[in-house]
Amino acid sequence: KQEVTQIPAALSVPEGENLVLNCSFTDSAIYNLQWFRQDPGKGLTSLLLIQSSQREQTSGRLNASLDKSSGRSTLYIAASQPGDSATYLCAVRPPGAQKLVFGQGTRLTINP
């Protein structure tokens, strides 16, 4: 059974710092991995999707990496801003399944 873990559960950093969020999964057989952002009381916004054959994806100040063999992904946020404050969720898609398996998220706070 695939399980996804995100560490840390919460993170608070001053504005302008670069930071890394971690995601680990127990079964390396995945179809893809996705990072989402969730704002309080809101839905999910997809940030980056990495196919199993890829090693990383970049969008603006965000960079996500994938190491399937070790069951890990990281989300790197450069030059953090207060508007980046949100909960970040990692999700994997098992092969042959249409569902996503989510981690519990990292609650990120960027202090001005």
Partner 1 sequence: NAGVMQNPRHLVRRRGQEARLRCSPMKGHSHVYWYRQLPEEGLKFMVYLQKENIIDESGMPKERFSAEFPKEGPSILRIQQVVRGDSAAYFCASSPDSLPAAFFGQGTRLTVV
What tokens does 98 get? 């249409």
CA distances from 103 to 15, 85, 92, 106 (A): 25, 18, 9, 9
Show the site string, 72-91: x = touches partner 1 by CB under 8 A, - = not. -----------------x-x
Taking CB under 8 A as the binding criterion, the range among 22-30, 34-42, 54-62, 72-80 that sits at the site for partner 1 is 34-42
Does 43 bind partner 1 (CB under 8 A)? Our answer is yes
Q: How many CB atoms lie within 10 A of CB 15?
A: 14
Contact status: 62 vs partner 1 (CB under 8 A): no
In contact, 93 and 34? CB cutoff 8 Å:
yes
When binding is defined by CB under 8 A, the residue of 34, 73, 80, 85 that contacts partner 1 is 34
Query: Which residues here bind partner 1, judged by CB under 8 A?
Result: 4, 34, 36, 41-46, 49, 89, 91, 93, 97-105
